[in-house]
Amino acid sequence: MNRFISAVVAGVMVAGASYAGVTEDDLKNDQTITNQVVTNGMGRHLQRYSPLDILNKDNVKNLVPAWAFSLGGEKQRGQETQPLVYDGVMYITGSYSRLYAIDVKTGEELWQYDARLPEGILPCCDVINRGAALYGDNIYFGTLDARIVALNRKTGDVVWNKKIADYKAGYSYTAAPLIVNGLVITGNSGGEFGIVGEVQARDAETGELVWTRPVIEGHMGTYKGEESTMTGTLNATWPGDMWKTGGGATWLGGSYDVETDTLVFGAGNPAPWNSHLRNAGTPTEGNAGDNLYAASRLGIDPENGEIKWHFQTTPREGWDYDGVNEVVAYTDREGNKRFATADRNGFFYVLNREDGAFVSATPFVKDISWAEGIDENGRPIFVEENRPGNPADAADGKKGEVIFASPSFLGGKNWMPMAFSQRTGNFYVPSNEWGMDIWNEPITYKKGAAYLGAGFTIKPNYEDHIGSLKAIDPDTGEIKWEYKNDAPLWGGVMTTAGGLVFTGTPEGKFIAFDDETGEVLWSFQTGSGIVGQPITWEMDGEQYISIISGWGGAVPLWGGEVAKKVNYLNQGGTLWTFKLPKQLASAD
């Protein structure tokens, strides 16, 4: 459903806007074109770093609200979007698969699109949406019934609407699409329902499929309507037919490294969670029971969907430590081209950008219990007694041994994106210090039903904090500073050349930190928990910052004892935009 207001006249929204359309060069150079933000991650490498330094450590205290925009209605829940800014218009997505176009100068709504969601959708972890993608004169976003929609960015009219997968089988889609060379590239959600993770590429103009790449071994990819190659080798690391419902959802979307022309997507947990079922009759030596390519990062050729390389962070995964966390392309202090990813399993990994080869791994949260460390090949050194027990060993066969695992299945870091600063060379990682009681149970696959085979209760590891924003040196793994927060951190991070780090808290605070010391330099109470992603841009010589506020996401739904700890937090749906006025830019 579209709703237009008086700002839309004959399909033209903002007087004087050029509407030349977003090009591949715009996407490629998004980080350095400071009057726009046209990609998720403020650049397809996902560094979330801005070269703007109008706003800095000395004057950030003068940052003031410019306008606020309410998403309205009763459809609140979690708001995890990252805004986009182009040609005088800001675009945001909202819970329940909504998309808004907003006048960037005034905060007035230009148009709104509400997806017509069917009955029976099966979202795993709240009805959120993490953002859209711009290309040409279209804007693209995904919906909770596993569709990808292209809208005219000037009017909000539907250009095309395509099915990614069958929502009745548990598929959904919540990530921001990725645009590369005229292709709209998407993943899928639904790993808790025994779906099969896949990456798809469509023609941006028509929506027609160009290629598909399942991420679980044994499944066939396609290229231009024909079968292409099998993913992996059938039954090399999966027993029997379990690969057919093997999970590995690609639910967070991907990044793109233009220098190596590589898409990098993460694959989530294997299905079911009960690892003993997935390794039944399979030796654990070598990689026979690893369940590839679940809990992995994959380098993919954007032209045809072929897998270039893979790196599995948690083989034989049995704790729901998804491997989807974002992979950020950067260059280290010695000029080496690297990838970095902070995994759900609690380790911070550095990989070689050329081939995905392992470089290093260090813990970024405390009290990791499931592994002693990572060996020289990047493989975890398992603590086998800290793997949830096999129900088949129980007297009644109904519940395996309960163990305490840290981090919890929501991860040392979950979806919330970290940021890299080209100024300091450090990463700024939103993390959580929590653990869980977890046990395995028998389970059989049924279409559209939860396919876990496990039970769990999440618990805080410390009395004084759960959330922890950490500054990490990727060369050494050293934690340079830490900001502790009472509630779990669940929002994105941004860095700037002005020496600032921005993020928000579930308690509603939007905070600017000193990138070198972690000192809080400025904060603003937004009225609801922040689980969204900040951006910054320049307009008329002034620097602006935007963040969406609206508590929700997975924590209140899955958080166990932690959910009870934060049940007082109010939902919301407000987009806040701040600016540093020119007259205050040099003020003390």
Catalytic residue IDs: 320
Q: Determine the Cα–Cα distance for residues 473 and 428; give it in Å rounded to an integer.
A: 9
Those residues with Cβ within 8 angstroms of residue 397's Cβ, 6 or more apart along the chain or in another chain: 391, 442
Q: For residue 414, say whether it is annotated as part of any ligand binding site.
A: yes
Q: Determine the Cα–Cα distance for residues 36 and 25; give it in Å rounded to an integer.
A: 13
> In this structure, are residues 203 and 187 in contact, taking their beta carbons and an 8 Å threshold?
no
Identify the CA nearest to 477 among candidates 316, 354, 362, 338: 362
The residue type of 90 is M
Show the tokens assigned to 169: 């089988």
Q: Determine the Cα–Cα distance for residues 448 and 120; give it in Å rounded to an integer.
A: 10
Those residues with Cβ within 8 angstroms of residue 321's Cβ, 6 or more apart along the chain or in another chain: 269, 295, 313, 314, 343, 344, 345, 370, 407, 409, 411
Q: For residue 415, say whether it is annotated as part of any ligand binding site.
A: yes
Q: Determine the Cα–Cα distance for residues 525 and 65; give it in Å rounded to an integer.
A: 11
Q: For residue 377, say whether it is annotated as part of any ligand binding site.
A: no
Q: How many CA atoms lie within 13 Å of 244's alpha carbon, on the beta-carbon side?
A: 6
Backbone angles phi, psi at 278, to 5 degrees: -80, -15
Show the tokens assigned to 567: 């049940």
Q: Work out whether strand 296-300 and strand 307-312 pair parallel, antiparallel, or are unpaired.
A: antiparallel
Q: For residue 205, say whether it is annotated as part of any ligand binding site.
A: no
Q: For residue 313, say whether it is annotated as part of any ligand binding site.
A: no
Q: Determine the Cα–Cα distance for residues 469 and 503; give it in Å rounded to an integer.
A: 9
User: Exposed, middle or buried, 369 (CB in 10 Å: 0-12/13-18/19+)?
Assistant: middle
Cα dihedral sign for 280, 281, 282, 285?
positive
Those residues with Cβ within 8 angstroms of residue 371's Cβ, 6 or more apart along the chain or in another chain: 345, 347, 380, 381, 382, 383
First to last CA, the chain: 49
Cα dihedral sign for 403, 404, 409, 413?
negative
Backbone angles phi, psi at 25, to 5 degrees: -65, -40
Those residues with Cβ within 8 angstroms of residue 363's Cβ, 6 or more apart along the chain or in another chain: 346, 347, 348, 373, 477
Numbered residues of the known binding site for Ca(2+): 192, 269, 320
Numbered residues of the known binding site for pyrroloquinoline quinone: 80, 130, 174, 414-415
Numbered residues of the known binding site: 80, 130, 174, 192, 269, 320, 414-415
